[in-house]
Structure 1
Amino acid sequence: MTAQTRLLESRWDDEHAATLDEPGKLLYRSNLLGADKRITNYGGGNTSAKVMEIDPLSGQTVKVLWVKGSGGDVGTIKIDGFATLYQDKLEALKGIYQGVADEDRMVGFLPHCTFNLNPRAASIDTPLHGFVPFTHVDHMHPDAIIAIAASKNSRELTAKIFGSEIGWLPWRRPGFQLGLDLEAFVKANPAAKGVVLESHGLFTWADDAKDCYLLTLEIINKAIAWFAKETEGKTIFGGAVSKALPAEERRAIAARLMPEIRGRIGTGERKLGHFDDQDAVLEFVNSKSLQPLGALGTSCPDHFLRTKIRPLIVDFDPAKPDVDAVLVGLDKALEAYRADYTRYYEACRHDNSPAIRDPNPVIFLVPGVGMFSFAKDKATARIAGEFYVNAINVMRGASTVSEYQGLPEQEAFDIEYWLLEEAKLQRMPKPKSLAGRVAIVTGGAGGIGRATADRLMAEGACVVLADIDADALDRTVADFRKRHGADAVRSAQLDVTREDAVIKAFAETCVEFGGADILVSNAGIASSAPVEDTTLAMWDKNISILATGYFLVSREAFRLFRRQGLGGNIVFVASKNGLASSPNASAYCTAKAAEIHLARCLALEGADAGIRVNTVNPDAVLRGSKIWTGEWREQRAASSKIEVDDLEEHYRKRSMLKLNVFPEDIAEAIYFLASDLSAKSTGNIINVDAGNAQSFPR
């Protein structure tokens, strides 16, 4: 049994539902439906309920439409994500509607229908729910239903599969008129339980929340079961013409191609990537139908708004895997895609259309390898990939039982460049300072590394935490996922002294995010002993981690940055001891001095490619630091002839400013050097030590 043939199961819990009011049941139903991507994709679909409420103005009982607000996601929505509108006021808008050309104006009247000063904006789909004369309405985008809706003979297929139970309406852009069309359909077909919208999705309705939920599952399951029967034994996508490469080789090719693509499409706006090589993707990219179906574009509006109307199919032969040849032809392929997108824009634009947007592809399909998706942030790139998997499933079903048809270019354009869609984009918050950037932080599970990663993610960066301590790494990543989201962080257990491990960590970063922009080299140890007691092993360990380790990660960063052609940023976390010598720490001080001079050398080498290299010198950062949890703390206390517990206060008093230095202080300096705030600085050193005259740079 595959994902395409497995039936949906009800997850409705009567005992739990009995504790909920009607808005609570709407929320419960919405979350259940949105939890399965076979029912609807992220941000797609809509749910509603008409609820009797007490009007805060009149004290009278009135009917209120609760409907998913603009930009929400039914799977993750909370109760405050629903718009609420007076049903009678919404109905009254019919009296001022002047026809299809008036649809955009009608959206401006929705706020006038708001119930109880709810600040949640109503979506363009509101009339579709408000005008259906049933208490509960579901509008979903199931792959199995859209496969019907996107078939050339979708009306006939709908009747064949569902009979009179489910009706059919021709394609129309969502809005006021489609709401009236749905109302007219229900009045003309009172026994119908729903309708398939051509090239769009499914509407179902009922007067009970549970009944509506179960009906939605039932209709989708009928479609799933029908497709399973009809496609059994049939050739899918015309059969395979390519064979998928082994998983490890697919990831290796992705690691090489994704930074090259990212560099070419990210000059105007940085992009993050996502790699998907699940079975559904491989079946499509290896098929005979890849070129013709890919060229047709997607059908459902929710699909192409995320993916663009069509993908770029990379010219790659997995039987003769020549990545270098792909790279040679990449510029020409992208140029051709941009030219075609410009043609599409110019052919379809209206006098008042917004300016052309980024003409680069979002989806890249590679035979034998899989799919890359790129967007302004990791979550958007991942979701775009998920949407294209939905599109693949739709094409799979439609092309097997009928003839798949994409949405006509003009219809697609009129949604992509809809003035209301443009207004929504303009309302989006300004990107954070590190949006679209990827940082690798070594020593990421320690005090400074953790604080640095936290600071960078707070500014919109995605972070790969690299650390040799697997347990600490797991704990740190789990914490960050809760606070910053799973898309923002990845981990790599890394010994920076091992060349192969460093190369692998950078390759995995490229697969996970498409590349990298920032390296924070922070992995560290510390040792203390008089020179006559310093063993060769102690000396070698300091040099290996603090000098060689910094060299290895920097070299790999330089290689990646040059491939991307987007510049780059390296920040070394060295030490006050790199500038000011300390007794009984010759190995540590020498290694830290080597770091500082390496950074200066790299600043010289990287300038022509826009690669900046700077250094932060901390001193006495005890809180959360791994190097202060062992012998180093005791040895430094002994060197200063004080008790271990007095060490932090000793360093505070020793500083010129009489202040303690914390990991967050170091993180702030690293953020400054890693961001565009310091765009004209390279080869510099920032001391964060509360003042120490010995370590003033000279």
Structure 2
Amino acid sequence: MPGTNDIAEALLRRSNRLGADPRNTNYAGGNTSAKGLDRDPVTGSDVELMWVKGSGGDLGTLKESGLAVLRVDRLRALADVYPGVEREDEMVAAFDYCLHGKGGAAPSIDTAMHGLVDAAHVDHLHPDSGIALACAADGEKLTAECFGDAVVWVPWRRPGFQLGLDISAIKTAHPEAIGCILGGHGITAWGATSEECEANSLRIIRTAEAFLAERGRPEPFGAVLPGYEALPEADRRARAAALAPHLRAIASADKPQVGHFNDSEVVLDFAARAEHPRLAALGTSCPDHFLRTKVRPLVLDLPATAPIEDAIARLKELHAEYRAEYAAYYQRHADADSPAMRGADPAIILIPGVGMFSYGKDKQTARVAGEFYVNAINVMRGAESVSTYSPIEESEKFRIEYWALEEAKLARMPKPKALAARVALVTGAGSGIGKAIAHRLVAEGACVVIADLDAENAAAVAEELGGPDKAVSVAVDVTDEAQIAAAFDAAVLAFGGVDLVVNNAGISISKPLLETSAKDWDLQHDIMARGSFLVSREAARVLIAQGLGGDIVYIASKNSVFAGPNNIAYSATKADQAHQVRLLAAELGEHQIRVNGVNPDGVVRGSGIFAGGWGAQRAATYGIEENKLGEFYAQRTILKREVLPEHVANAVFALTGGELTHTTGLHIPVDAGVAAAFLR
């Protein structure tokens, strides 16, 4: 008999293999289990246990901490006290009384499916091919044609204890069966060994794939609609970037959302076909799908070549209709015990010829929502190729979406961080102060675009911050209008929009007046004064279109108010930046865009400017060794403390983290106290 660790390890390996292939199941979809004997530490006798994927998590990355461990005898004894389908939700709380020891992860709603079925190993998965049969109008007939007696049809039933009893009874009545197709839902397979169970799961999935390929008619979504074909890549991405702020305004009317753009062939083809309006209106079916995508998407009903102004105007009309229809959907099915209506904005927006934007509370949630809609497209294609796509009834969708257990799950989610669902673009973020700011913003929940002249540095910072679900990099010269526009396009395509912009890019050349050339002057003004203006102008375009307010922060300097020696060009351009803060605060306030600044003292350690020669120049000015410069700056302050990049990052967060909601036009000194730079 395999040991306890062997059973759990084999289950994890099987789960990871199945979850690694998107043909088998979607992200975070499905669950697996294994049963075996272990020694009861209280009685000393053997006890049958079940290890099963707990609530949440993903099969492809499942670890032992994600498994719930329950006693099979107690789990099956629940059938004797089961109060019936109208009260089956009560059984989830009862699972806690079946846990073995500390029990591991919280048991999911599908625990009964695994525990009540008389098989040592059970897989429940959501493959596109299986759901295509499950959502076909004549799915039961097609299942029999596809599998014969090997796989049994189970009519739609909401996940829960009764579904577990149903599948258990079906397995007993059909000893020749290796699994079942769950109407409107997915598949379940079983086996005496882990290897047999996995083989049976894959047999069902691959057999369904082959059946659809062989029996399916070509072009199940109909002919291509004239004018709805995919635009050339450069054109569609430019149009997507132009629409993105307006789409984010739509998706965020109730609550700010992060976006994800997908212009894959499967999305573009679906949105170009004649049947896409009908199918999109029917909505998704599998519970895992519509819990993340909402019951249906918002679909722009204009050709890809329509004027952009017309597209924006029509999207606003469609959004109003969508919200009204969603409210009506809620009213049709809600009762006195239903949770309050959640946001009425779409999670999926389809733009023919351009692609799909999906939305969520963070980038990963938005990306996964889009992946689920791709799954839904695949399901619709399969079902339409051999039959007619027929999702579960709207009332059943409502029961799932507003399930008390789902509401309780949402209530257990940790409180969002201060900058959750906010997107920041930081210039000069490849090193020094900008890098520190990017780190702080990500730590507080923001998604960040690392914009820097040095593409390699920018990419490295984005990677260390967690990669594309947290940060992306763009190479940008802030003196170049086209590159700045391209950087904002990249930002809105990566995250749906921009909320917070930090003008940090800078350079410094320290020289006396008579040694300062026009080239020195122009270079510093081009990068900091002109560059900040150009970045802020492009930021304002996005922020105003979104209608969500926002923040622009300038990293200026104490030199904007302090007349230091041999520093005419740098200090003058910092004074320019400082006044831009006041001017833009006054101009952009009507759009709820706050503009503030930070005035650091010289930041020596970790600074790209100081490492690039500025440190040596300033040390020479003060007649000290360069490695003593930080100490020198600290000693001339009131607090006698050196200013570091993270201190500047702290000030940026203080201005943008949600506490200073009524503050604009302000400069915060971060200089450890330089009396000559006190603001007046």
Question: Same-fold call, TM > 0.5?
Answer: yes
Alignment pair present for 1:571 and 2:553: yes
Q: 1:216 aligns with which of 201, 211, 229?
A: 201
Displacement of 1:330: 2.2
Alignment pair present for 1:269 and 2:255: yes
Q: 2:528 aligns with which of 539, 542, 546?
A: 546
3-state DSSP of counterpart to 2:469: helix
3-state DSSP of counterpart to 1:264: helix
Is 28-37 or 258-267 further displaced after alignment? 258-267
3-state DSSP of counterpart to 1:466: strand
3-state DSSP of counterpart to 2:584: helix
- In structure 2, the residue matched to 1:363 is 348
Answer yes or no: is the 8 Å Cα contact 2:55–2:108 preserved in 1: yes
3-state DSSP of counterpart to 1:306: helix
Displacement of 1:104: 1.1
Displacement of 1:329: 2.0
Answer yes or no: is the 8 Å Cα contact 1:297–1:407 preserved in 2: no
- In structure 2, the residue matched to 1:647 is 629
Aligned pairs (5 A) from 1:191-590: 191-231=176-216, 234-241=218-225, 242-318=228-304, 320-481=305-466, 486-590=468-572
Displacement of 1:102: 2.1
3-state DSSP of counterpart to 2:457: helix
User: Structure 2 CA distance, aligned partners of 1:310 and 1:291?
Assistant: 11
Displacement of 1:630: 2.4
| Residue identity opposite 1:625 in structure 2 | S
| Residue identity opposite 2:224 in structure 1 | A
Answer yes or no: is the 8 Å Cα contact 1:503–1:556 preserved in 2: yes
| Residue identity opposite 2:127 in structure 1 | P
TM-score, length-normalised on structure 1?
Answer: 0.95
Displacement of 1:20: 6.8
Is 531-540 or 121-130 further displaced after alignment? 531-540
1:337-385 deviation line (CA, Å, top 9, x unaligned)? 1111111111111221111111111111111111111222211111111
Answer yes or no: is the 8 Å Cα contact 2:448–2:470 preserved in 1: yes
Going from structure 1 to structure 2, the CA distance change for 1:19 and 1:641 (only over 3 Å counts) comes to farther
User: Structure 2 CA distance, aligned partners of 1:457 and 1:596?
Assistant: 26
Answer yes or no: is the 8 Å Cα contact 1:127–1:176 preserved in 2: yes
| Residue identity opposite 1:692 in structure 2 | V
Answer yes or no: is the 8 Å Cα contact 2:250–2:345 preserved in 1: no
Displacement of 1:18: 12
- In structure 1, the residue matched to 2:86 is 101
Displacement of 1:19: 13
- In structure 2, the residue matched to 1:183 is 168
1:283-326 deviation line (CA, Å, top 9, x unaligned)? 110001111111111111111111111111112212x3322111
Answer yes or no: is the 8 Å Cα contact 1:56–1:116 preserved in 2: no
User: Structure 1 CA distance, aligned partners of 2:35 and 2:471?
Assistant: 41
Displacement of 1:546: 1.0
1:180-204 deviation line (CA, Å, top 9, x unaligned)? 1111011111121111101110111
User: Structure 1 CA distance, aligned partners of 2:416 and 2:387?
Assistant: 44
User: Structure 1 CA distance, aligned partners of 2:251 and 2:222?
Assistant: 32
User: Structure 2 CA distance, aligned partners of 1:160 and 1:315?
Assistant: 38
Q: 2:109 aligns with which of 102, 124, 140?
A: 124
Alignment pair present for 1:173 and 2:158: yes
Aligned pairs (5 A) from 1:574-653: 574-653=556-635
3-state DSSP of counterpart to 1:678: coil
User: Structure 2 CA distance, aligned partners of 1:38 and 1:80?
Assistant: 25
Alignment pair present for 1:692 and 2:674: yes
Displacement of 1:229: 1.7
Answer yes or no: is the 8 Å Cα contact 2:292–2:372 preserved in 1: yes
Displacement of 1:541: 0.6
- TM-align CA RMSD: 1.5
User: Structure 2 CA distance, aligned partners of 1:655 and 1:180?
Assistant: 74
User: Structure 2 CA distance, aligned partners of 1:52 and 1:270?
Assistant: 49
Displacement of 1:624: 1.3
Answer yes or no: is the 8 Å Cα contact 1:22–1:51 preserved in 2: yes
Displacement of 1:55: 1.8
Displacement of 1:236: 2.8
1:363-413 deviation line (CA, Å, top 9, x unaligned)? 111111111112222111111110000000000010011111011001111
Aligned pairs (5 A) from 1:38-49: 38-49=23-34
Going from structure 1 to structure 2, the CA distance change for 1:338 and 1:267 (only over 3 Å counts) comes to closer
User: Structure 2 CA distance, aligned partners of 1:119 and 1:140?
Assistant: 22
User: Structure 2 CA distance, aligned partners of 1:42 and 1:582?
Assistant: 58
Going from structure 1 to structure 2, the CA distance change for 1:343 and 1:267 (only over 3 Å counts) comes to closer
Displacement of 1:156: 1.0
User: Structure 2 CA distance, aligned partners of 1:323 and 1:40?
Assistant: 38
Q: Which runs of 5+ in 2 are unaligned?
A: none
| Residue identity opposite 2:284 in structure 1 | T
| Residue identity opposite 1:221 in structure 2 | R
User: Structure 1 CA distance, aligned partners of 2:454 and 2:312?
Assistant: 37
Runs of at least 4 residues off by over 6 Å: 17-20
Answer yes or no: is the 8 Å Cα contact 1:617–1:686 preserved in 2: yes
Answer yes or no: is the 8 Å Cα contact 1:316–1:322 preserved in 2: no
| Residue identity opposite 2:613 in structure 1 | E
Answer yes or no: is the 8 Å Cα contact 2:67–2:104 preserved in 1: no
| Residue identity opposite 2:479 in structure 1 | T
Answer yes or no: is the 8 Å Cα contact 1:171–1:198 preserved in 2: yes
User: Structure 1 CA distance, aligned partners of 2:451 and 2:86?
Assistant: 56
Aligned length: 677
Going from structure 1 to structure 2, the CA distance change for 1:630 and 1:366 (only over 3 Å counts) comes to closer
User: Structure 1 CA distance, aligned partners of 2:21 and 2:128?
Assistant: 11
1:210-231 deviation line (CA, Å, top 9, x unaligned)? 2222222222111112222223
User: Structure 1 CA distance, aligned partners of 2:368 and 2:207?
Assistant: 27
| Residue identity opposite 1:125 in structure 2 | D
Overall identity of the aligned pairs, in %: 49
Alignment pair present for 1:148 and 2:133: yes
- In structure 1, the residue matched to 2:38 is 53
User: Structure 1 CA distance, aligned partners of 2:318 and 2:287?
Assistant: 26
1:616-652 deviation line (CA, Å, top 9, x unaligned)? 0111211211011122111111111111121122122
User: Structure 2 CA distance, aligned partners of 1:312 and 1:398?
Assistant: 22
3-state DSSP of counterpart to 1:676: coil
Q: Which runs of 5+ in 1 are unaligned?
A: 1-16
3-state DSSP of counterpart to 1:434: coil
Alignment pair present for 1:682 and 2:667: no
